[in-house]
Amino acid sequence: MGPWRRFLSVGVWVQSAILGLVILVSLPLSVQIWGEVSRKLDDLRTSQNDNVIWNLTQLEVEFLKFERTLILGIQEGAPDAKQLQEVRRRFNIYFSRLETLNGGALYQRAFEEYGTMGILTGLRMEVAEILPYFELPDDEFYTKLPEILAMQEGRERLVRRIIARGNQFTGVHGQAQRDDISRLLLRLSIASMVLFVALGLATILFFRQSMGHRARAIEHKQSSARFATVISTSPDALIVTDDAGNIVEFNRAAERLVGIERARALGNPFPRYLTDQDGELADLPLANGSRIAGVQLTLQTASSALVPVELSQGVAEFETQRFYVYFLRDISDRLAADRALLASRDRALAGERAKSRFLAVMSHEMRTPLNGILGLVELLRSGDTPPEEQKRYLELLRNSGQILLDHVNDVLDIAQLEADGVRLNPQPFDMDQMLADILGPMEVAAEARGNHIALDKSGPLGWFHGDGARLRQVLTNLIGNAVKFTNEGAVIVSAVSYAGRRGDTAMVEFQITDTGVGIAEQDVARIFDDFVRIDRGDSQQPEGTGLGLGIAKRIVEAMGGQIGVDSIEGDGSTFWVTLELPRATPVQAGLAAGAALSDQEEAENPLKILVVEDNATNRLVVRDLLKWSHLFGQFCSFAKVYRV
């Protein structure tokens, strides 16, 4: 076991070399020995020794048969042609046996080796002496038979001696051949044993190597299967290209991302699907083939959709070939989340800014009329104010209160729009009547500032189906702003309608043009933001919360229209609104839901109103107003209603 263990302890290549050398020596030697054995076997198959023995034996047999036929021929007493013919035939056979032994090289070598060649030659010569007798006619030949028989006496002993020497030679010669074959077979056995041992060791070695290779193949197969599973189930697209940029591997995630099948993608140049931020084809591989991660590119899919991706690049070298491994990750969701996060941050910052603007604006806009109200109340409490002044003070109190109410309504309106959106209540309305109702009160405010206000329209606009109240709110705000920001100027309200995109609709366009202070170019973009108030740069800054235009924009966009402004600082502004509204059939206006009650019916059947109000001052004001209207009210608080 020692040499065997030492043999197994050496390397596989050394074991293979040793076994190969042994087989290389043993195999030709075995072939050579086998060739010699084959030749010896061929010699044995020729049966030369057996032929010698047989021929020698046959010589004696034929001699005896010849002698017997002679005796039978003599005993006939008279010539018998048939018997004489048999004598001649037996003599010919006997003589041919002698010729065979005398002429064969193998027989000559045997007879010469054992000194019997002379005996054989003498025997032949003696037989040749009687050869002429056999050519005589039957009568004469018959008379020579006794003489021929007499000549055969003593020759039997010579024949037996020749046979004995021949058998001795064939025995010795056969034993020599057998010894040669034994030696050859022994050599062949040794060589074959060595060869078989070497082949057995080689078989064991190859089996061990085969098992090792099989184990490694199974391991590699399992590793490849795991790697293929990882690649196929990877959420990221994996694309492998050769050094020329042609695709050699394309996993399922890549199929889903790019939108083409693996079979179609293989062999195509990969960079044609990727573009950089400038729209140019990506220069791949990146950075001279080094490993890079996190490069943002744009992928064009098979459907021509553009998908933002993050690319990572790796390099793999196999022998003389180089491969590039690209991982692509769809970052659309991440970018959307980033945009949403930025938008949330911007909204939060905008909310903070809006809150700051709200506090700054409302603290000023509400404190100013409140101070005026409190001051007027103190003047009225003094008791020595003339009636004319008291009336004027009360009018100022009403105006200040209306200003405060407008501010609060704007804040509540914008809060409602932010929370619930714009809620529209479409109904048929008369556009011409609405404009008249808006411009009537505006003319008074315009004249107070020395302005001229005019309505410009080519003809009646007619009836439309939409939220007239919301549209009135928008136009009132735009016209009111034009009046407030214009002194000693003009405000022109233009309205025009034309055919809409559908047969039952019409496009309505309003333009409110003033000759006021205008808006600076840098302020035009933010004029519709909440709490934005443009500083006029003088002491006649109009009051307001800066919410009106923001509310107007939300309403117009909710109605499917557009709103904008064109302005030149110092020359005035033009605000425009474009809407597409369905045409409506005129309806009778002014109809009441029920017939008006006569004064007598009012007196006989007075209305009773339930007023729920927590504020005592408000309840007092409502009660007195109801009394002036000849109505009766029942008052309670919200807490009482909740208990009931």
Give DSSP secondary structure letters for 202-261: HHHHHHHHHHHHHHHHHHHHHHHHHHHHHHHH-SSEEEEE-TTSBEEEE-HHHHHHH-S-
Beta bridge partner(s), residue 330? 309
As a whole number of angstroms, the distance between CA 30 and CA 481 comes to 121
435 and 515 housed in the same domain: yes
Using the Cα atoms of residue 461, residue 467, residue 470 and residue 473 in order, give the sign of their dihedral. Answer: positive
Q: Say which residues have a Cβ less than 8 Å from residue 91's Cβ, sequence separation at least 6.
A: 66, 134
* CATH code at position 477: 3.30.565.10
Mean pLDDT value of segment 587-598: 44
Q: What is the pLDDT of residue 141?
A: 75
Q: How far is CA 172 from CA 49, 147, 264, 326, in A?
A: 10, 40, 87, 89
| Least-confidence region, from 149-153, 468-472, 521-525, 592-596 | 592-596
Confidence bin at 412 (pLDDT 50/70/90): low
Is pLDDT at 577 greater than 90 in this prediction? yes
Name the residue type at position 158. Answer: L
Cβ 101 vs Cβ 107: under 8 Å? yes
Residue 200 falls inside a structural domain: no
As a whole number of angstroms, the distance between CA 142 and CA 111 comes to 35
Mean pLDDT value of segment 117-128: 66
As a whole number of angstroms, the distance between CA 535 and CA 417 comes to 26
Q: How many residues does the chain have?
A: 644
Is pLDDT at 566 greater than 60 in this prediction? yes
Name, of 399-408, 457-466, 619-628, the range with top average pLDDT. Answer: 457-466
Residue 6 falls inside a structural domain: no
Q: What is the pLDDT of residue 347?
A: 75
| Least-confidence region, from 116-125, 198-207, 261-270, 383-392 | 116-125
398 and 473 housed in the same domain: no
Residue 482 falls inside a structural domain: yes
Beta bridge partner(s), residue 611? 635
558 and 617 housed in the same domain: no
Name, of 4-18, 338-352, 527-541, the range with top average pLDDT. Answer: 338-352
Residue 35 falls inside a structural domain: no
324 and 252 housed in the same domain: yes
Is pLDDT at 194 greater than 80 in this prediction? no
Is pLDDT at 570 greater than 80 in this prediction? yes
Residue 167 falls inside a structural domain: no
% of residues, the chain, pLDDT over 70: 63
Angle between helices 138-151 and 81-103 (to 10 degrees): 50
Name, of 287-291, 398-402, 504-508, 605-609, the range with top average pLDDT. Answer: 504-508
As a whole number of angstroms, the distance between CA 324 and CA 286 comes to 10
- Considering the chain, what is the average pLDDT of its residues? 73
Mean pLDDT value of segment 540-563: 79
Is pLDDT at 598 greater than 80 in this prediction? no
Mean pLDDT value of segment 135-153: 75
Residue 187 falls inside a structural domain: no
Between 470 and 117, name the one with better pLDDT.
470
Cβ 518 vs Cβ 569: under 8 Å? yes
Confidence bin at 576 (pLDDT 50/70/90): very high
Mean pLDDT value of segment 359-365: 59
533 and 636 housed in the same domain: no
- Of the residues 108, 133, 162, which one is the last residue of a structural domain? 162
Torsion from C-alpha of 288, 290, 295, 299, nearest 10 degrees: 70
412 and 389 housed in the same domain: yes
Mean pLDDT value of segment 308-322: 77
Q: Are strands 463-466 and 452-456 parallel, antiparallel or unpaired?
A: unpaired
- Of the residues 117, 137, 162, which one is the last residue of a structural domain? 162
Per residue in 266-305, pLDDT tens?
877 765 667 777 777 776 766 655 677 777 788 777 777 7
Cβ 87 vs Cβ 73: under 8 Å? yes
Per DSSP, 114 falls in state T
Q: How far is CA 432 from CA 440, 477, 552, in A?
A: 12, 18, 20
Is pLDDT at 85 greater than 50 in this prediction? yes
Domain count, the chain: 5
Phi, psi of 131 (to 5 degrees): -60, -35
Q: What is the DSSP string of 297-363?
A: EEEE-TTS-EEEEEEEEEEEEETTEEEEEEEEEE-HHHHHHHHHHHHHHHHHHHHHHHHHHHHHHHH
Q: What is the pLDDT of residue 47?
A: 45
292 and 343 housed in the same domain: no
Is pLDDT at 10 greater than 80 in this prediction? no
Q: What is the pLDDT of residue 59?
A: 67
Residue 115 falls inside a structural domain: yes
Confidence bin at 26 (pLDDT 50/70/90): low
Is pLDDT at 324 greater than 60 in this prediction? yes
Q: What is the pLDDT of residue 622?
A: 74
Is pLDDT at 504 greater than 80 in this prediction? yes
Per residue in 145-171, pLDDT tens?
777 777 776 666 666 666 666 666 665
Q: What is the pLDDT of residue 575?
A: 92
498 and 361 housed in the same domain: no
SS3 609: strand
531 and 624 housed in the same domain: no
Between 195 and 334, name the one with better pLDDT.
334
Per DSSP, 182 falls in state H
Mean pLDDT value of segment 602-626: 71
Confidence bin at 508 (pLDDT 50/70/90): very high
Residue 621 falls inside a structural domain: yes
378 and 322 housed in the same domain: no
Is pLDDT at 81 greater than 90 in this prediction? no
As a whole number of angstroms, the distance between CA 350 and CA 38 comes to 110
* CATH code at position 314: 3.30.450.20
Q: What is the pLDDT of residue 248?
A: 80
Is pLDDT at 326 greater than 70 in this prediction? yes
Q: What is the pLDDT of residue 275?
A: 76
Angle between helices 155-233 and 117-129 (to 10 degrees): 120
Is pLDDT at 495 greater than 90 in this prediction? yes
Q: What is the pLDDT of residue 589?
A: 40
Domain that holds residue 318: 235-334
Confidence bin at 500 (pLDDT 50/70/90): confident
| Least-confidence region, from 102-116, 293-307, 540-554, 559-573 | 102-116
Q: Say which residues have a Cβ less than 8 Å from residue 278's Cβ, sequence separation at least 6.
A: none
Q: What is the pLDDT of residue 582?
A: 92
522 and 468 housed in the same domain: yes
pTM above 0.85, yes or no: no
Longest dimension (CA), the chain: 215
As a whole number of angstroms, the distance between CA 92 and CA 69 comes to 12
Closest CA to 152 of 60, 39, 236: 60
Q: What is the pLDDT of residue 543?
A: 58
Mean pLDDT value of segment 515-542: 73
Roughly how many angstroms between the first and final C-alpha of the chain, as a whole number? 111
Residue with the two structure tokens 């101070």? 371
Q: Are strands 452-456 and 490-499 parallel, antiparallel or unpaired?
A: parallel
Q: Say which residues have a Cβ less than 8 Å from residue 493's Cβ, sequence separation at least 6.
A: 435, 439, 453, 454, 455, 456, 475, 479, 510, 511, 512
Q: What is the pLDDT of residue 578?
A: 94
- Of the residues 355, 385, 417, which one is the last residue of a structural domain? 417
382 and 244 housed in the same domain: no
Q: Say which residues have a Cβ less than 8 Å from residue 199's Cβ, sequence separation at least 6.
A: 23
Q: How many CB atoms lie within 10 A of CB 425?
A: 9
Per residue in 234-273, pLDDT tens?
777 777 878 777 888 878 887 777 778 778 878 777 656 6
Name, of 97-106, 320-329, 421-430, 543-552, the range with top average pLDDT. Answer: 421-430
Q: What is the pLDDT of residue 445?
A: 80
